[in-house]
Structure 1
Amino acid sequence: MKEYMGAGTEAADIWAAVVRGGRLSCQTAGVLTAIALVPGILTHYVLPRVENVCWKIVLGAELLVTSILYVASFPYYRQFHANFNQLMFNAANDDIVALFWSLVQEFYLPVRLAVACVLAFVLWKVAVAFVLRWQGPRLTFVSYFPWPVRWAARACALGVCYVVGLLSVFGGSLGWETGVDWENAGVTKDDFLNEAILDSYQAVHRGYVLQNRMLACNGLDFTVEDIRALAALHAGMEPTSDDLDTYLRHEAAGAGLGRQPSHVFIILSESYANWPLLDKYQGLHIADGMRSVIAEDDSDYCPTFLPNGASTVSAVTGVVTGFADANLYLTTMPESFAEPYPTASAPQFQKLGYTTNFWYAGPATWERIGAFTQAQGFEHFYSRGDYGDVPGSVWGCEDEVLYEKILDGLEAAGDAPSYNVILNASNHSPYDVDVDEKGFDREQVRAALPAEAQGDEHLLTELGHYWYADRELAKFVRAAKAKYPDSLFVIVGDHGDRYNIDKTPTTYERYGIPFVITGQGVHKGTLLADSAGSQIDIVPTILELIAPQGFEYMSLGTSLTTTNRQGVNYGFWITRHAIGKADTVPLVEEPIEGDMQPIDQQAMQDYINAIRRCGEAGRERIKKRRLQRYATSSLPL
């Protein structure tokens, strides 16, 4: 996987990773050894006849798990650009059946599992032969020496065990001061090598610890006074109230479009990254559909936009609830079903007279999305089960089918004014849409790729699915405009960070998603020339365009038409000229293109803190209200 190493990575970096990883894996080896020894020792004294059988079984189980994790780590890194991490535990909330078939079809689960089993068997045979070689009579030669020699040998053996034990406990060191663990292991300048330092068990442990940290607390270390000050700073007000609603309340300046459109569409397009829309990739011709939409006079485009989180469910919660992502699964948390959050989008559009619809290509049970969106105020939810026997993958029907069903559904509803959130699924593993049959020019795209990528058929298939999603998206926008000419459309990706041509993409190319707005009344300049944002800014942007003057709405985000010049999410911030990680002190700026304009460090840090903490405080308030209702009722908590 050397192609994932960054430019400038040298042999010294690789050696540093090997040494650091070897030290860290002393911990793993110690734990595995203890697990293998304990049953053997117990049976030695209780059931000596089964001692060998017992430790052989335990050793085999350990090697099988180790081999499976090792083999799985390769496709996992290719998919997520990371060793095993917290995303592993999201699978518990995912559609297990769809996930299984995706693993079978895209990642060849049976083949990889068979390889892991063969590897484990070979290692087991070697390990058993090694242990048996040094067992029993081969060590009895010590008994022929005088007792001082025997005791010296035992003392040396105990000393060796003691040193090995220290190395195991302290990660290749003799004390905690110089010990290595997963939190301080990444010592190289290369992201790939820093992930490779963690063996599979250490990577799983890291994900487990982070997951439990998230579940154990809301991640805040802020007082009420801190939150009040941040909320006031974000709202541009004096910190005079302890009611969070005071700081989330906005009044529309007046319909920026000069009218209220008949239909509003927010399209969350699966894995629809921004990088194919950049000029440097124009020769691929996989984003020609959206390029043509952006070029129209009634469209505007912000190229500096961030997803709410690393997965689709984060995008859903951002648009549905208006809250920034904090690695919390709102779709499965009980308080999300008590009542809509104050910043939820559907109730606010209902106040403007819209029927609210959520259209999903997949099953309603995925992440409890059907129940969640309706609990958050959507009047209608449509999913795979409502579309009949239609083509698609385990994750959902094909995009062209979804868009056809949406237009048919709006017509059946009598074309009543509607607010529609659309979540498609075709640009997703197992990438089984027959894009070649649908017109994808594979050879044209291959010729436009760098020489080292031209033989990567899987990458070409992924790019073909982006092309298909882009084409069908543009077709839907044009068809809906023709049918409902006074409608408004917002197109964004649900997230990026799934595949790139460059194995070591820039932060901007890896994580950025597009923000495209189009419809009657939109023009070049509708969005601020230096606008930037994230998915929590989508709804306030729309409301400032369509709501009458004085219309009151609740929002953590702000409009890209009036004030918003920065975006922030779970891990990154962005402006029109720079991007960086949100958790470094000081914030490190990575230029997007051309000359980079320095950011105001304090202002950006305040914005990051305000978005995260105010969102957390809003969710916590709903939770407390729910607990208070239970406490005063006859229902058990």
Structure 2
Amino acid sequence: MGQSEVLNTRQRAGNLTRATVSSHLGFILLSTLALMLMFSLLRLALFIYNRELIGSTPASTFFEAFFNGMRFDIRAVVFALVPLVFALLSASAMRWRTLWRIWLTCFASLTLFLGVLELDFYREFHQRLNSLVFQYMSEDPKTVISMVWYGYPVVRYLLAWAFATWLLYLVFRGIDRATRPSATGAPIAAWYLRVPVLLLVVALCVLASRGTLRQGPPLRWGDAFTTDSMFANQLGLNGSLTLLKAFESRMDDDRDRIWKPTMPDDQARDTVRKMLVLPDEQLVDTDKAAVRRDYTPPASGTLPVKNVVVILMESFAGHYVGALGAKGDITPNFDKLSKEGLLFTRFFSNGTHTHQGMFATMACFPNLPGFEYLMQTPEGGHKFSGLPQLLSARQFNDVYVYNGDFAWDNQSGFFANQGMTTFIGRNDFVNPVFSDPTWGVSDQDMFARGNEELDKLAGEGKPFYALLQTLSNHVPYALPKDLPVQPVKGYGSLDDHLTAMRYSDWALGQFFEKAKKSPYYKDTIFVVVGDHGFGSPEQLTEMDLFRFNVPFLIIAPGVQEKFGATRDTVGTQIDIVPTIMGRLGGETRQQCWGRDLLNLPAGDQGFGVIKPSGNEPVVAILNGGRILIKPKEGDIRVYDYQVGANPQIKRVDDAPDRPELLHRLDSFIQTATKSLLDNTGGVVDSKPAKN
């Protein structure tokens, strides 16, 4: 080695060991800028990937969203810089540049991975990363991995992530070299000079992480919701932070995710009783139960039926149902069936996850903040006033037919506890037409087996009820190779989803063709309802109502003659059980959190309380054509809305009914939550029918 090389080597070694406060601050500053740029690029990628959601929103709105996003991003960056900031206390710690490069690269790589994951997560759920991630991770790993592997370009994403991680390492190495002190630099400052610098930097970090100069809490979820565009508001969040918040909520022993009471319990209970109890109902056990009541529907409203079949259609979004005004011929079979029954045109799911659709539809209990995965919590072991309890008390036989595994979402455990006895799942099908490695058999196989099971039950001579649940219209949309329908084209990223929906609709039509030939058909009330909708390029309010709007169709002998072909009464899935019981007739003691939609007082437009999945801190109440949206934090908004052929919204400022709607919403959530926690939400001494 020559003399010059030796000097250069010594000079480099000296540079590494002569860390100074200014050089360390320079390293922190440039690293901050690099991380902020990365987060902005991730936000830009999310924006471009989901550009179908831009619609008519002006560019200025998205500039505002990106600015809001920077406020959240700097908070995430501060978390990464904490160890570097406190390294100012130690001269040796400031020299650990290799360690800091690795730490920053790992942090950036992890957040980059989450950003890549979020591209399709947002496209599917129209939400930033949240507790749904942990919910899926807690389910059967084999099924989840299969869903991801077959539903998304995993290898391509992983390669892109690995390459970007390498680039990030090069960036931080370049920052390291650019901020090394010169060999002739000043000696490091004494500790008593470094401490004031540290305190100043810490103060700046605290200010940056708070994101606001106001008194009280720091930057909150609601601070991103500053525009009328849901897409722009969601862009203003930081996916890594929303996921971290969801993790904290999941681990919170104090269950902070449960909304706290806002009024005296008796005041909230009395309000809910006025909301739910119909003139034909009589409250019982008023000292113990919130809305337990006896109900004998008027004979004029009953139908000549003795059996019940509920068909829960996966992702059957009302926005794409022809009978509700959609174009494209996505659901020709449902559209044809709707002409034979009673179709509700303003009906909504209580949540945006199949899990919520199941317990709302069958157990008649609402989707509440903190209990979105009710079937998997200790409270899910309570007895609810749902169809299984009410009809088991009447000695009905039952069957639950499903494409997949009943272990998913604890379906068999929950419904067995409610009173169901017979379960037909993916392992019970013999020689199915099609079975995919993720979910199980196809919808046509499920419906074919459903026909068989219903014929078998009818042959036993006793009344029965059944739940048939579809699954093919779910990522990865694994369908038979030779499709019996034409693939849907012209809807961009939704083509595959809508093709699966058209296929499910075809399978539904096949089921009814066979059912109509069976003797039990004339004695049966059929209910067809979507478990939830899904997002579309157009969005109605920050609740994204298209994810909740689903069809609700009742097919039964004499239903059109008594009730007409359509109803625009607002309802949700918790109204299904009391509506069914009203058609069966006989005295029933129940504590459903919905109402018989076909026996409402004159002029009652109906109402519903809805909440998205993923522990997103927002709820809403719909009342007729109006919706009030209440986040846990942030502005409360009121809109006039319209779904169907001409969907639209109009924000209503200073709405005169705002206080009343808010009071009813708060009362409903508070009373239902208390009932759940106190385990007083079921039926005591359920009464059989008096015929």
TM-score category by the smaller chain?
0.7 to 0.9
Pairing 1:71-470 to 2, within 5 Å after superposition: 71-135=116-180, 137-138=181-182, 140-143=184-187, 161-162=201-202, 164-171=204-211, 180-209=219-248, 211=250, 215-216=255-256, 218-221=258-261, 222-234=263-275, 235=277, 242-245=286-289, 247-254=291-298, 261-278=305-322, 282-296=326-340, 299-327=341-369, 328=371, 329-337=373-381, 339-341=382-384, 343-388=385-430, 390=432, 391-393=434-436, 394-413=438-457, 414-415=459-460, 416-434=462-480, 437-442=482-487, 445-446=488-489, 449=490, 453=491, 456=492, 458-470=493-505
Alpha-carbon deviation of 1:477? 2.3
Contact 1:358 1:380 in 2 (8 A): yes
In structure 1, the gaps of 5 or more residues are 626-637
Alpha-carbon deviation of 1:31? 0.9
Over 3 Å counting, the alpha-carbon distance change for 1:174 and 1:217 in structure 2 is closer
Alpha-carbon deviation of 1:272? 0.5
Tell me which residue corresponds to 1:619. Answer: 676
Over 3 Å counting, the alpha-carbon distance change for 1:196 and 1:600 in structure 2 is closer
Tell me which residue corresponds to 1:560. Answer: 597
Alpha-carbon deviation of 1:155? 9.3
Contact 2:528 2:554 in 1 (8 A): yes
Alpha-carbon deviation of 1:200? 2.6
Contact 2:539 2:546 in 1 (8 A): no
Q: Which amino acid aligns with 2:583?
A: L
Pairing 1:464-503 to 2, within 5 Å after superposition: 464-483=499-518, 484-486=520-522, 487-497=524-534, 499-500=535-536, 502-503=537-538
Separation in 1, partners of 2:192, 2:148: 55
Separation in 1, partners of 2:677, 2:192: 63
Contact 1:308 1:534 in 2 (8 A): yes
For 2:679, what is the secondary structure of its paired residue? helix
Deviation digits for residues 422-465 of structure 1 (CA, Å, limit 9, x no counterpart): 22101000012147x223223xx43xx4xxx4xx3x42221111
Contact 1:28 1:168 in 2 (8 A): no
Deviation digits for residues 514-544 of structure 1 (CA, Å, limit 9, x no counterpart): 1100022221552684422101100100100
Contact 2:303 2:559 in 1 (8 A): no
Between 486-495 and 566-575, the greater mean CA deviation after superposition = 566-575
Between 354-363 and 603-612, the greater mean CA deviation after superposition = 603-612
TM-score by length of 2: 0.77
Tell me which residue corresponds to 2:639. Answer: 588
Q: Which amino acid aligns with 1:557?
A: G
Over 3 Å counting, the alpha-carbon distance change for 1:245 and 1:17 in structure 2 is closer
For 1:359, what is the secondary structure of its paired residue? strand
Instruction: Report how many residues are paired.
Output: 598
Q: Which amino acid aligns with 1:70?
A: G
Q: Which amino acid aligns with 1:76?
A: F
For 2:128, what is the secondary structure of its paired residue? coil
Q: Which amino acid aligns with 2:553?
A: V
Contact 1:229 1:239 in 2 (8 A): no
For 2:521, what is the secondary structure of its paired residue? coil
Asked whether 1:16 is paired with 2:64, we answer yes
Tell me which residue corresponds to 2:584. Answer: 546
Contact 1:250 1:555 in 2 (8 A): no
Tell me which residue corresponds to 1:628. Answer: none
Pairing 1:37-48 to 2, within 5 Å after superposition: 44=92
Separation in 1, partners of 2:213, 2:568: 54
Percent sequence identity is 20
Contact 2:351 2:357 in 1 (8 A): yes
For 2:478, what is the secondary structure of its paired residue? coil
Between 362-371 and 219-228, the greater mean CA deviation after superposition = 219-228
Separation in 1, partners of 2:217, 2:183: 35
Separation in 2, partners of 1:581, 1:464: 32
Over 3 Å counting, the alpha-carbon distance change for 1:124 and 1:295 in structure 2 is same
Between 62-71 and 274-283, the greater mean CA deviation after superposition = 274-283
Q: Which amino acid aligns with 2:572?
A: S
For 1:516, what is the secondary structure of its paired residue? strand
Separation in 2, partners of 1:102, 1:573: 33
Separation in 1, partners of 2:425, 2:66: 48
For 2:639, what is the secondary structure of its paired residue? coil
Between 585-594 and 84-93, the greater mean CA deviation after superposition = 585-594
Tell me which residue corresponds to 2:22. Answer: none
Asked whether 1:513 is paired with 2:550, we answer yes
Tell me which residue corresponds to 2:665. Answer: 608
Q: Which amino acid aligns with 2:496?
A: T
Tell me which residue corresponds to 2:16. Answer: none
Separation in 2, partners of 1:505, 1:348: 36
Over 3 Å counting, the alpha-carbon distance change for 1:553 and 1:385 in structure 2 is same
Separation in 2, partners of 1:599, 1:544: 34
Give the alignment's Cα RMSD to 1 decimal.
3.6
For 1:141, what is the secondary structure of its paired residue? coil
Alpha-carbon deviation of 1:8? 4.7
Over 3 Å counting, the alpha-carbon distance change for 1:262 and 1:39 in structure 2 is farther
For 2:346, what is the secondary structure of its paired residue? strand
Alpha-carbon deviation of 1:152? 13
Q: Which amino acid aligns with 1:277?
A: V
Over 3 Å counting, the alpha-carbon distance change for 1:140 and 1:199 in structure 2 is farther
Alpha-carbon deviation of 1:599? 8.9
Q: Which amino acid aligns with 2:419?
A: G
Question: 1:533 pairs with 571, 584, 587, which one?
Answer: 571
Separation in 1, partners of 2:671, 2:218: 38
Alpha-carbon deviation of 1:93? 4.0
Alpha-carbon deviation of 1:259? 5.1
TM-score by length of 1: 0.83
Separation in 1, partners of 2:394, 2:118: 49
Contact 1:322 1:556 in 2 (8 A): yes
Over 3 Å counting, the alpha-carbon distance change for 1:106 and 1:245 in structure 2 is same
Contact 2:89 2:198 in 1 (8 A): no
Separation in 2, partners of 1:307, 1:362: 22
Q: Which amino acid aligns with 1:365?
A: A
Separation in 2, partners of 1:347, 1:553: 9
Between 81-90 and 608-617, the greater mean CA deviation after superposition = 608-617
Q: Which amino acid aligns with 2:228?
A: K
